[in-house]
């Protein structure tokens, strides 16, 4: 994001402006996002709105055309860019999760429908039909002279019925195993899509952060001719919070609300 050249006047800077570090652009931007995203009755939104109003009021206290006003305007640009970027990424993540959820629900409905079609009553008919055929085949096989010689004295009805039930049980087990495998694969696919959507969201938000941070840091250099006072450790901590990997925080893959609370606390 390119910046306009700072004013040429080199009057002494207002001491207050040196307290507004480039990090404020991120806090300002996320507060703007919270104001637009949360319910009007939310306490987090009220805190974010207060932070935005204080920054806006402070920017207006600096004279137009001065370096301080120029710097604050660039922070505002970076903040708006970050807020809009987070909103876009949130929407994209929401759409991806909804698509994955709909695909999972559709597959569940298909499996449920298939299970109902192959329910107890229909399964009973199948057992009767297949069982009757197997029973008849078993009677024929056990009735062969070669087999009768080896099964002399045995009850042919009992042997035929036992064979029929055994095959029916094996078929029922195979069907249950196959249904279980389909359900496991279904939820594994769903979990994978959710994980990828969350990972993409985290990476995209970090990219939005980096873009806003570069704009804010460039404005700071234009204001002070010095590097921005942001340590590498603080930047890594900030990126960790955005991605949900801040030390001491345990966030679920879908814990975007928790991330919002952490960022809102930092912004107030």
Domain residue spans in the chain?
A: 17-267
pLDDT, averaged across the chain: 74
Burial profile 6-34: b = 16 or more Cβ within 10 angstroms, e = fewer? bbeeeeeeeeebeebebbbbbbbbbbbbb
Task: Evaluate whether 30 touches 83 at the Cβ level (below 8 Å).
Answer: yes
End-to-end CA distance of the chain: 26
HSE, CB side, 13 Å, CA atoms: give it for residue 261: 8
Whether 207 shows a pLDDT value over 90: the answer reads: no
Q: Is the pTM of this model over 0.75?
A: no
Q: What is the reported pLDDT for 252?
A: 35
Q: What is the widest separation between alpha-carbon atoms in the chain?
A: 117
Whether 47 shows a pLDDT value over 70: the answer reads: yes
Task: Evaluate whether 218 touches 3 at the Cβ level (below 8 Å).
Answer: yes
User: Which letter does DSSP use for residue 102 in this model?
Assistant: H
Q: What is the reported pLDDT for 150?
A: 55
| Positive or negative: CA dihedral 123, 129, 134, 139 | positive
Q: What is the mean predicted confidence (pLDDT) over 76-99?
A: 91
Q: Please report which confidence band the pLDDT of residue 178 belongs to, taking 50, 70 and 90 as the band edges.
A: confident
Q: What is the reported pLDDT for 72?
A: 94
Q: What is the three-state SS of the chain?
A: CCCCCCCCCCCCCCHHHHHCCCHHHHHHHHHHHHHHHCCCCCHHHHHHHHHHHHHHHHHHCCCCCCHHHHHHHHHHHHHHHHHHHHHHHHHHHHHHHHHHHHHHHHHHHHHHHHHHHCCHHHHHHHHHHHHHHHHHHHHHHHCCHHHHHHCCCCCHHHHHHHHHHHHHHHHHHHHHHHHHHHHHHHHHHHHHHHHHHHHHHHHHHHHHHHHHHHHHHHHHHHHHCCCCCCCHHHHHHHHHHHHCCCCCCCCCCCCHHHHHHHHHHHHC
Q: Please report which confidence band the pLDDT of residue 139 belongs to, taking 50, 70 and 90 as the band edges.
A: low
Whether 18 shows a pLDDT value over 80: the answer reads: yes
């Amino acid at each position: 994001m390119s910046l306009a050249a700072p004013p040429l006047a080199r009057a002494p800077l207002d001491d207050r402006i040196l307290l507004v570090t480039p990090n404020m652009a991120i806090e300002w931007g996320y507060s703007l996002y919270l104001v637009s995203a949360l319910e009007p009755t939310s306490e987090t939104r009220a805190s974010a709105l207060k932070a935005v109003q204080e920054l806006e009021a402070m920017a207006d206290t600096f004279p137009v055309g001065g370096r301080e006003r120029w710097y604050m305007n660039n922070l505002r640009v970076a903040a708006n860019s970050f807020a809009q970027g987070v909103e876009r990424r949130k929407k994209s993540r929401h759409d991806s999760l909804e698509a994955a959820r709909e695909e999972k629900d559709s597959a569940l409905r298909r499996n449920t429908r298939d299970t109902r079609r192959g329910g107890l009553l229909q399964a009973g008919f199948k057992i009767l039909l297949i069982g009757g055929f197997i029973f008849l085949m078993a009677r024929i096989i056990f009735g062969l002279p070669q087999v009768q010689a080896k099964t002399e004295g045995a009850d042919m009805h009992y042997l035929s019925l036992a064979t029929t039930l055994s095959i029916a049980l094996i078929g029922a087990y195979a069907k249950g195993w196959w249904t279980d495998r389909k359900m496991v694969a279904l939820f594994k696919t769903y979990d994978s899509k959710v994980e990828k959507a969350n990972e993409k969201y985290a990476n995209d938000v970090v990219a939005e952060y980096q873009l806003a941070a570069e704009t804010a840091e460039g404005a700071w250099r234009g204001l002070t001719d010095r590097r921005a006072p942001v340590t590498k450790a603080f930047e890594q901590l900030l990126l960790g919070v955005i991605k949900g990997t801040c030390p001491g925080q345990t966030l679920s893959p879908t814990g975007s609300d928790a991330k919002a609370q952490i960022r809102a606390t930092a912004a107030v």
